[in-house]
Homo-oligomer: A and B are copies of this chain.
Amino acid sequence: MDPELDISRILLDLFLMYALATLGSEVFQRLKQPAVVGELLAGILIAGLALTIRSPVYDVVAEIGLIVLLFTVGLETRFSSILQVGRTATLVAVIGVIVPFLLGYGVMAAAGQSSLQAFLLGSALTATSVGITARVLSDLGVARAPETCVILGAAVIDDIIALILLSVVSGAGRGSLYVTDVAILAAAAIAFTVFVALVGTRATRRYGSLLEKLHLHDAPFVTALLICLGLSAAASLLHLSALIGAFLAGMAFAETQDRYALEERIQPIYAFLVPFFFVVMGTKVDLGTLLKPDILSLALVITLLAMVGKVVGCGLAAMRMGRFRASIVGVGMMPRGEMGIVVALVGLRLGLIGDDIYGTIIFMALVTTLVTPPLLKLLYHRAKPTPSAPTPALEGQPACER
């Protein structure tokens, strides 16, 4: 039997990955740091010590984990909430995508890379990983403050924009990038998104109760998983990212999720499969390459641009909320995580980028994620002597639904 497919070895490796991911997650949570950092570092350690074999099976397990992750994010995203989120959040999202994208694109183009590579790196800098910020703000007792609402709303729009950019990268991946291709792929991605968001949301709202008539055990949940797989496959076959399908499937069920406790039921699958995604991503980092002086300086420059891009872009867009809240919004939008790593992975898989750029993007995701919580705490600490007192919501502003 092919050693890459030897089941004893695969089981052992899966155990090692899950064990180290769990350990990393535990250690980082004890240090009051995001669990995802521990999982990525576990993967880097595994690759560094060559603890596991390289098998394509792990990529598939990671991909399924990623689909579950995006589906869960989708379940937390109500289409109606996005529509309500208001001008500020949209502005923060859009400007907060454009500025880092242009910075990333510019630096790569200036370094003489191809337009596709520059596009890819720019895209990797766009999507905010809002989980970490949300957790920190909620720990600080400001979960329903207006700046939190803006950050959460903007991050969702961010995710959608990043998924569309990713679809462009995936679709254009096999050739060089022309403006017309970008336009066509972006149009396809937007059409798919709008179609599924509108039709899917209405369908689950109108026909959701039919699921209760099925004899199938746990029918609503099983159907939701089925639609998640189906839309992921459909998106993938349309040369869009499979993830946009998973995300939209989640969003379509977000309106009915309370009734069937879908979010609660997806949690065990999340706990089982999602860590594999981050560990496998970590194993793809080649520390030897990353630690070379020229690559490391590139990584530092990109990381700095990633931070400046969001603070300036989002901060300016939020300036009408006042300087303090605008700075919170800017810093809160800094962490990059899943989506940036996904873009990097797609680039690596298509051969668009090498170990150097891949390592750079992971480095950027790790640093922006690690730096944000202390910075946010510092900002709140400076502004108010009692950071634990909840900030009152702005008049006329609805409380966050999320």
A interface residues, Cβ below 8 angstroms from B = 2, 5, 7-8, 10-12, 14-15, 18-19, 22, 25-26, 29-30, 35, 56-57, 59-61, 63-64, 67, 214-219, 221-223, 225-226, 229-230, 232-233, 236-237, 242, 265-269, 271-272
In the bound complex, do residue B271 and residue A11 qualify as a contact, i.e. CB atoms below 8 Å apart? Answer: no
Q: Which residues of B contact A5 (CB under 8 A)?
A: 56, 59-60
- Known contacts A226-B22, A233-B8: A218-B15 contact under CB 8 Å: no
CA distance A233 to B222 in the complex (A): 29
- State the oligomeric state as a number of copies: 2
Q: CB-CB < 8 A to A237: which residues of B?
A: 8, 12
Taking CB atoms, residues of chain B closer than 8 Å to A269 are 268-269, 272
Query: Whole-angstrom distance between the alpha carbons of A229 and B219 in the complex?
Result: 28
Complex Cα spacing A59 to B8, Å:
13
User: Contacts A2-B56, A26-B216, A226-B18: A268 and B221 contacting too (C-beta < 8 A)?
Assistant: yes
Q: Which of B15, B230, B271 contacts A229 (CB 8 A)?
A: B15
Q: Is the CB of B11 within 8 A of A229?
A: yes
Chain B residues lying within 8 Å of A7, measured Cβ to Cβ, are 59-60, 63, 236, 242
A14-B229 in contact (CB<8A) = yes
Chain B nearest CB from A219 CB (Å) reads: 8
Of the listed residues A26, A59, A215, the one surrounded by the most CB atoms of chain B closer than 10 A to its CB is A215
Q: List 29 A-B contacts (CB under 8 A).
A: A5-B59, A7-B59, A7-B60, A7-B63, A7-B236, A8-B236, A8-B237, A11-B229, A11-B232, A11-B236, A12-B236, A14-B64, A14-B233, A15-B229, A18-B229, A19-B230, A25-B216, A26-B219, A29-B215, A29-B216, A30-B215, A57-B60, A217-B271, A218-B267, A218-B271, A225-B271, A268-B268, A268-B269, A269-B272
